[in-house]
Amino acid sequence: MGKDTIQEARVLRDKRTPETAAEEVFQSMQEIYVRSSLKVKNLNHDATDKQKENLSEKIKEAIKIFHQMLSEMYSNQENSGDQLEEKLQIDEEKINIGSNIDKHIEITLAYAIDGLRAYEADDINLAWSYVVDANFWAGQVIGASIFKYEKMSNATDKRHEKNRRLEKEIKQWYKDEGHKFGSKDAAAEQAKNIFELEFSTIRRHLRNL
Report, as an integer, the average pLDDT of 162-178: 84
- Is the entire prediction scored with pTM above 0.85? no
Q: What residues contact 62, with CB distance under 8 A and at least 6 apart?
A: 33, 34, 37, 38
Is 160 part of any domain? no
Is 194 part of any domain? no
Q: Are 138 and 101 in contact (CB under 8 A)?
A: no
For residue 83, the SS3 value is helix
Is 131 part of any domain? yes
Is 179 part of any domain? no
Is 48 part of any domain? yes
Q: What is the pLDDT of residues 18-70, one digit of tens each?
A: 999 999 999 999 988 888 777 655 545 455 666 667 778 888 898 999 999 89
Is 184 part of any domain? no
Q: Using CB atoms within 10 A of its CB, is residue 38 exposed (0-12), middle (13-18) or buried (19+)?
A: middle
The top-scoring range by mean pLDDT among 4-8, 33-37, 38-42, 154-158 is 33-37
> Structural domain of residue 36, as residue ranges?
3-155
Is 200 part of any domain? no
Is 54 part of any domain? yes
Binning pLDDT at 50, 70 and 90, where does residue 103 land? confident
Residue 132 has pLDDT above 60, yes or no: yes
* Domain count of the fold of the chain: 1
Cβ count near 173 (within 10 Å): 18
